[in-house]
Structure 1
Amino acid sequence: MKTMLTVLPLFIILSYLFLYLPSSADMSNQYVENGFVVNIAPEYRDIICPVFNNGELETGVAEIDQLIGKYGIYRFEREFPASERYSNTSVDLSGYYIVEFSPLHRLEDVINDFSSCCCIEHVERIGVCPVFAIYPDDPLFSEQWYLDSESYVDIDAPEGWIYEHGDASPIIAIIDTGVDYRHPDLINSIWINDGEVPDNGVDDDKNGYVDDIIGWDFVHGVRGDRYEDCFIEDNDPMDWYGHGTLVAGVASATTDNGVGVSGVGWGARIMVLRAGWGWGPYGFVRMDFCARAIFYAVNMGACVVNCSWSSSNSGGISAAVSYAVSKGVVVVVAVGNTGDEYSHYLASRGDTFCVAGSDMNGRRAIFSSYGSNVDVSAPAFSIMSTYRRYLGEHIYVSRSGTSMSAPQVSGLCALIKAQNPSLGGKAIMWVVHNSTKPMIGDEEWEKGLMGSGIISVENALCNEMLSSECANREIPTEVGVVKILSVSPSPSDDYIDVMFSSPCGVLSADIFDISGRKVLKRVFNVSGGEGEFSILLDNFNSGVYVLRLSDGIASDTMRFICIK
């Protein structure tokens, strides 16, 4: 049974249609026209109490109540329900409220009046951002090359699964257009809320959502395709558009079940959170929907949140992500498909895990965005996954885009969490970041614009040093802490001298050949400052090699040539 969050008068439902009407001519980020988010000042948070009194909305704060009457405000609702239950964090979300008003008024006028109120700490518009496109490929493509291939450009999944199959304890929250939770290759991977009794109309776990058995559908008040569920949020996060089902299958389709495809996360569960919808060929998410979904995911136990969509700093998304990070949750973000140097809000924060896309040659996929904000790359071309078409057809298709890259990283993060349950988000990101394969010959990678390289499930799971010594380490936050000053001579036939600078501690030197295979590893202590060491090339063949120097917190790479 589908449970509705609330029942609204017809005039309110109709007014929702004006909130957002996407234009096919303008696919850039847009904003809701008669809604926004406010953060109540701390001294007023215990006073404000929105209620309907004889059909009139009141908050108990005179300054706000005057504006409610002036602008026909019909919704003044907590953005993050029951946030007091989860207050043991440095991020306070108790003051965030969603405000919606009569479309007869101008957004700028309402925002200006609220911004001038002494009881309002700040006001945020609500962004409507595109879901990253997925590009159709040959429908007869039937091999998941990105998991396992003869070349070095795959992510070494079968080799990694030898060390860790994963289990049902890690939860990946898929915040997207929903998920086809009835798909035969997903149905056994769906997270179930054990704290809720199905269909009893009661919020048993007191998290603010009634009968949220497999997640929640946050979408309401938008206009989409004919069969999209666009009016009232409820407990049925079914996917119509298809994007979220693709993403979920890549992250953790049920593996080794004799059906369909394999998900990177093997046994990880999928929490279904619908924050997006389809309109013709396009998909969209709204930032307040996404913010609430992130808050829900963190509080309900997700260790990874997957975001395969664009974003803007609006609608409370900043506070929600800060909350997730403070709780040790990994927020995985697709960088985008602009084909140039580009960064949307979530990809540029620095505390999320930003993923670019590689192609079948181990280089940047032509459509993938790139930039200094990228942490790692993963295959993005011809990715086979689960799909839902129209009214319940459970199929498989091959698609391309960084939307397909991000869930591979999410699946790997879940495997690492299953292998090492005590690891927090920063440590998990460190393992993924420091176990990648170099993208030799890729111009953007060599400039540091594609992250550390292509993820490797095998490298991340088989390296005991990575998994056991990284519990308190973090993803590099200071560029140039470790620096390779020179590698000489190059070309060389017998040895190389490496000049470097680094703080004191343990330093590791790894050398990779052109195929991405690690051919040498050295670990040694350094006293800090500039230093030098030599490496003999006795067993090296002629070719191009990459030296990676790392202290476990920061790293640097440089190419050299060996000629025999």
Structure 2
Amino acid sequence: MGKNSSILAACLFMLFLSVGCEERMDGLKENGELTVQVTPVSGKIFIRLERNALDCYTSGTGLARVTEHFGKVTVSRLFPSSVENKERHRKAGLDLWYKVEFDPSVNTEEVQRFYQGQSGVERVVCDEEISFQLPQAVVCNNLSRSSGISLPFNDPYLDRQWHYDEVGMENIHENATIGVFKGWKVTGGDRRVVVAVLDCGVDYLHEDLKNNMWINEKELNGTSGVDDDGNGYVDDIYGYNFAYGTGSLNPHDHGTHVAGTIAAENNNGTGVCGIAGGTGHQDGVRIMSCQIGTTMGSITQNFEALSKAFVYAADNGALICQCSWAFAYSNELLHTGVDYFVKNAGSQPGSLMKGGVVIVAAGNDGTHGMRYPASYESCISVAAVNTEAKRPSYSNFDETVDISAPGGVKNPEEFGIFSTLANNQYGYMNGTSMACPHVSGIAALIISAYGGGGFTTEKLKQILLESCISLNETEPSYAPLMGKGIARVDRALWKDDGVAPEAVNDLCFKQENENYFLVWSNASDPNDGSPRKSILYRSSQPLTAANLNQAEMQEVDLRGKDAGDEITVALPKPADRNTVDYYALTNADTWGNISGLSNVVEIRWVQILPEEKPEPEHPDSPEKGVIVFPNPTTGILNVKWGCIQGAKSVNVYDLMARRVYTKILSSSESAGEETVDISRLPAGRYVLKFSSDDGVQAINVVKI
């Protein structure tokens, strides 16, 4: 059965639009979250039929009792189909989804309950409209180019786009940009790459976008009011308006700003640059506008429009869906659309990639929490960084975030994200809405550079995520919750020449009091400058290149580390002091080229560890101190402490000394016990640090 209407009514939808100046923050709360109104849709539900019941319901005989109970009822396919995509729709089960429309005065829940009780009906889903006020951008036209700056293209506002690369502006951290200038030497984009912008309508006549719009030639040259290409949509020339059910788009600042970041035309002497906007030789990627919201001072979306937009984008050639919006809970219709796009995009002959990617903003309410579809496994979730390469206060953060990108400062003027606006204008916006199209643009360049036979979404994600710059240096507290790091074009477009990083030859063991480490100098890489990661091997037997596959392995993230930097990895104390461990490592680059084996380090713990009396596995009451059990654990740890004064907290660190988990414990002075859930962390060795007024106690733990 589908979700009932009371559950769906709890879905709080938040489109993360950006604001300009303080006085123009209409419809915004202080923390940047938009005022939202959720309204169940009357007179409409959706049903998914069982395959063996399809003929009965679509022939009309299955509607007899419905007509008797509720009057006139209209049943129609939810997803329009054509000869070209009919079989794909059937395999995906889209042909089983139907829209049931009835008199709005009829109680929707009664109709829903009726269908839930019918044989042959697999699920029933209600729709909702989500409305909120639209903020405005900071419009800044007629800006002049800064003097003395040499830039790769002649677009006059490129010097305002600090988020792309070094443009001579002060107070910009070197890691806060996406490094696009070097990438443009490889490619500016490929016309065969289409990015569907699921947003407000894009200004398809904008001077800086019109030449990079996707155009449905059959509809452009066809008859108005006729579905000339037979795809189920009439007059869909530049995309489709799913909010109003028409081919006519309603341009708005937000959708136009997002589109400009991806594909504003480059080197045309006009306006701004797009990340994948070409080099001035008609080589930029193209934008398909899938309008999913109304634009009359407020915006209204519904799940029907969203799901249809994903299916339309896949069926009409898009490889990337750009989604600068999110909501608090999931919805089956939305997941159906996302799953179809991810699996079926790129089915057209000559496509540069098999499958599609959905890139989604993580959200702007500045909290640690999941948002959808950003948290959906099939999507790439994007958080924001500011000019200091740190998390701005508005950006959400979570374990489900995949990557970060420039989103601008809270007050966007000058240091916001600069791009196109509706009606041939330009200006600033900020938010994860603006970070998201940076990642879509980079993904479009990766496909342009490497796409072709055999190129898949998995390879795209590998290049995109493994080429980031780590946030460990600039934002160590939030780095584990901001994805792989800041997206970079230059790193993503480096060519794989098959050359592996150099091998390490100075791996050594180091002891500081009762703490133990492996230390080595980061190697160099002839192609990438330095390795992307090290693979650390541990065995009770001497290690050789021939027996590495029998050893325990631990990946060490080296992004943000230069050749020659000292790398330190903490080692857990072994349970048995009569143990001999052998350690060695190899280095890997972005492309998976593996170095030779390092020197092997032998550690005889009997010579290092003092005699210790084992602690009971489940002590009844520690007089003073901290005990953690079970250890090893599959995910849940019990942390038990004696009489310890003041506030108490637990922090968990990985072997790179990065904090990956935090929990504030009870401040009671009496002995206590609480659970720590590390089930989301990968298997491996960690250090749990218990902090209180009495100091810090470190305990090695193992997640299996």
Which TM-score band applies after superposition, normalised by the shorter structure? 0.7 to 0.9
Aligned equivalents of 1:314 and 1:531: distance in 2? 39
Aligned equivalents of 1:538 and 1:125: distance in 2? 53
Q: Which residue of 1 aligns with 2:420?
A: 386
Correspondence 1:168 to 2:204: no
Aligned equivalents of 1:510 and 1:285: distance in 2? 51
Correspondence 1:242 to 2:269: no
Correspondence 1:251 to 2:262: yes
Q: Secondary structure at the match of 1:126?
A: strand
Correspondence 1:283 to 2:299: yes
Q: Which residue of 2 aligns with 1:204?
A: 228
Q: Which amino acid aligns with 1:188?
A: N
Cα distance change, pair 373–365 in 1 and its aligned pair in 2 (3 A): same
Aligned equivalents of 1:435 and 1:308: distance in 2? 22
Q: Secondary structure at the match of 1:163?
A: coil
Correspondence 1:35 to 2:44: yes
Contact (CA 8 Å) 1:384, 1:399: kept in 2 or not? yes
Contact (CA 8 Å) 1:129, 1:310: kept in 2 or not? no
Matches within 5 A, 1:143-158: 143-149=160-166, 151-158=174-181
Deviates more, 1:105-114 or 1:312-321: 312-321
Aligned equivalents of 1:300 and 1:538: distance in 2? 44
Q: Which amino acid aligns with 2:447?
A: K
Give how far 1:205 is off. Answer: 2.3
Give how far 1:130 is off. Answer: 6.2
Contact (CA 8 Å) 1:364, 1:444: kept in 2 or not? no
Q: Which has the higher contact order (CA 8 A, sep 6+)?
A: 1
Give how far 1:511 is off. Answer: 8.9
Q: Which amino acid aligns with 1:103?
A: P
Contact (CA 8 Å) 1:216, 1:234: kept in 2 or not? yes
Contact (CA 8 Å) 2:518, 2:568: kept in 1 or not? no
Q: Which residue of 2 aligns with 1:82?
A: 81
Q: Secondary structure at the match of 2:232?
A: coil
Give how far 1:414 is off. Answer: 1.2
Q: Which residue of 1 aligns with 2:121?
A: 120
Q: Over the residues paired in the alignment, what is the CA RMSD in angstroms?
A: 4.0
Aligned equivalents of 1:122 and 1:443: distance in 2? 45
Q: Which amino acid aligns with 1:242?
A: D
Q: Which amino acid aligns with 2:656?
A: M
Contact (CA 8 Å) 1:445, 1:453: kept in 2 or not? no
Q: Secondary structure at the match of 1:348?
A: coil
Correspondence 1:529 to 2:551: yes
Aligned equivalents of 1:238 and 1:543: distance in 2? 54
Q: Which residue of 2 aligns with 1:61?
A: 61
1:368 to 383, 395, 415: 395
Offset from partner CA, 1:40-73 (integer Å, 9 cap, x none): 2211223433xxxxxxxxx5133x3432453355
Cα distance change, pair 173–376 in 1 and its aligned pair in 2 (3 A): same
Q: Secondary structure at the match of 2:240?
A: strand
Deviates more, 1:394-403 or 1:133-142: 133-142
Offset from partner CA, 1:367-415 (integer Å, 9 cap, x none): 0111111110111011111111xxxx32001000111111111111111
Aligned equivalents of 1:100 and 1:167: distance in 2? 43
Deviates more, 1:417-426 or 1:185-194: 417-426
Q: Which amino acid aligns with 1:148?
A: D
Matches within 5 A, 1:186-205: 186-196=209-219, 197-205=221-229
Q: Which amino acid aligns with 1:383?
A: I
Aligned equivalents of 2:428 and 2:243: distance in 1? 27
Matches within 5 A, 1:494-513: 497=518
Q: Which amino acid aligns with 1:46?
A: D
Offset from partner CA, 1:333-371 (integer Å, 9 cap, x none): 111111011222211111111111111111112101111
Give how far 1:219 is off. Answer: 1.3
Q: Which residue of 2 aligns with 1:558?
A: 656
Q: Secondary structure at the match of 2:262?
A: helix
Cα distance change, pair 402–40 in 1 and its aligned pair in 2 (3 A): same
Q: Which residue of 1 aligns with 2:104?
A: 103
Contact (CA 8 Å) 2:235, 2:248: kept in 1 or not? no
Matches within 5 A, 1:67-466: 67-68=66-67, 70-72=69-71, 75-82=74-81, 85-86=84-85, 87-88=87-88, 90-129=91-130, 136=137, 139=140, 143-149=160-166, 151-196=174-219, 197-220=221-244, 233-239=245-251, 241-266=252-277, 267-280=284-297, 282-311=298-327, 312-314=329-331, 316-327=333-344, 328-381=355-408, 382-388=416-422, 393-422=423-452, 423-439=455-471, 440-446=473-479, 448-464=480-496
Aligned equivalents of 2:249 and 2:430: distance in 1? 24
Offset from partner CA, 1:259-318 (integer Å, 9 cap, x none): 1111112211001111112353x4332111011111010011100011111245336211
Aligned equivalents of 2:318 and 2:295: distance in 1? 25
Aligned equivalents of 1:538 and 1:379: distance in 2? 23
Give how far 1:540 is off. Answer: 4.1
Contact (CA 8 Å) 2:214, 2:286: kept in 1 or not? yes
Contact (CA 8 Å) 2:164, 2:180: kept in 1 or not? yes
Contact (CA 8 Å) 1:133, 1:403: kept in 2 or not? no
Q: Secondary structure at the match of 1:94?
A: helix
Contact (CA 8 Å) 2:417, 2:428: kept in 1 or not? yes
Cα distance change, pair 396–533 in 1 and its aligned pair in 2 (3 A): closer
Offset from partner CA, 1:515-564 (integer Å, 9 cap, x none): xx9655677874253369999x997479999x99879799x98369xxxx
Aligned equivalents of 1:487 and 1:71: distance in 2? 78
Q: Secondary structure at the match of 2:76?
A: strand
Aligned equivalents of 1:259 and 1:325: distance in 2? 35
Aligned equivalents of 1:441 and 1:127: distance in 2? 41
Contact (CA 8 Å) 1:334, 1:406: kept in 2 or not? yes
Q: Which residue of 2 aligns with 1:478?
A: none
Aligned equivalents of 1:520 and 1:426: distance in 2? 21
Contact (CA 8 Å) 1:190, 1:271: kept in 2 or not? yes
Contact (CA 8 Å) 2:314, 2:341: kept in 1 or not? yes
Deviates more, 1:29-38 or 1:102-111: 29-38
Contact (CA 8 Å) 2:209, 2:260: kept in 1 or not? yes
Q: TM-score by structure 2 length?
A: 0.60
Contact (CA 8 Å) 1:155, 1:457: kept in 2 or not? yes
Identity %: 28
Offset from partner CA, 1:86-121 (integer Å, 9 cap, x none): 324752211112223222122222211111111211
Q: Which residue of 2 aligns with 1:15?
A: none
Cα distance change, pair 188–487 in 1 and its aligned pair in 2 (3 A): farther
Aligned equivalents of 2:110 and 2:428: distance in 1? 47
Deviates more, 1:72-81 or 1:187-196: 72-81
Q: Secondary structure at the match of 1:558?
A: coil
Q: How many residues align?
A: 475
Give how far 1:180 is off. Answer: 0.7
Contact (CA 8 Å) 1:79, 1:98: kept in 2 or not? yes
Q: Secondary structure at the match of 2:94?
A: coil
Q: Which residue of 2 aligns with 1:228?
A: none
Q: Which amino acid aligns with 1:346?
A: P
Cα distance change, pair 75–237 in 1 and its aligned pair in 2 (3 A): farther
Q: Secondary structure at the match of 2:93?
A: coil
Contact (CA 8 Å) 1:179, 1:244: kept in 2 or not? yes
Q: Which amino acid aligns with 1:283?
A: I
Aligned equivalents of 1:200 and 1:407: distance in 2? 32
